[in-house]
Chains A and B, each alone.
Chain A
């Protein structure tokens, strides 16, 4: 009995950790892109790649959160953009906001699955946006 409970906890714990890691890198990528466009609008993905001696594909994938940039690369990106590395990292509340658990009806979930076609990031983004758009209406009812 104890054993079973223990395993369940481990599993659900793992799931949460994996979800957050993916989301974390996705948000770091979004922040890099936002900062690049805000601080250095003239610096393209290719330009940034050249400065860091990386391939353009690496920068594209880092900005999409598909490639996990090590700390020294993140540091170099911050230097190249002349911004603070702290601005490239999501805050706890930003992460939580994106990670909120929500309830959607079966039909909506089917539509999201069909659109995401197995892509975890798309599924999460859609789930988050749609549930936010829906839940707000319930708030206004009060």
Chain B
């Protein structure tokens, strides 16, 4: 099933609203607290090597499982990604299940491009990036930083402030139209 079309701006707006409603517009963005305020239970899980996270909705019980063997920044991204599925893709029905594999949306885009699953993964990834790296907080940080944005160290420093991977930060800066090396 194809998900509802959402523009980049739609997703940014949904994320901003989510952050404001949860009173979590600060860095590092407290993803666990956002999940908690959405009544989502977050659990460390053993999920094998490939699976990063799962979202299980069963009636009133809503659980996010993240792969405890992956790095802390990856775990944060996974939780944010699952919150994205919850907000963007869980409809009125009582049961839903999302199983997310690492990098599925980026590396397998060609193989999956005709299915709705791929669109959902891309949307959840955009949501996660925007949630962990809110545009207004990025701009605020950039104003106070004295380094040149072409500098790789600046991206690393910014990434550690937001508790995301440098790659995720670099992609985010690119999609916000901020120059990155």
| Given contact pairs A130-B56, A133-B56, A33 touches B69 in the complex (Cβ within 8 A) | yes
B158 in the interface (beta carbon within 8 A): no
Inter-subunit contact B99/A133 (CB<8 Å): no
Looking across the interface, which residue of chain B has its beta carbon closest to that of A105?
B95
Residues of B near A107 (CB, < 8 A) are: 97
Interface readout for B29-71 with A: 1 if CB under 8 Å, 0 if not?
0000000000000010111111100101011110101000100
- Band of interface residues on A: 20 to 34
Inter-subunit contact B50/A140 (CB<8 Å): no
Q: What is the interface of chain A mostly: helix, strand, loop, or mixed?
A: helix
17 other A-B residue contacts (CB within 8 Å) besides A115-B51, A129-B45: A111-B97, A115-B101, A117-B50, A119-B48, A119-B49, A121-B48, A122-B50, A125-B47, A125-B48, A126-B54, A129-B46, A129-B56, A133-B43, A133-B58, A134-B56, A137-B61, A141-B59
10 contacts between A and B (CB under 8 A): A30-B46, A116-B48, A117-B50, A119-B50, A121-B48, A122-B49, A125-B45, A126-B48, A129-B43, A136-B61
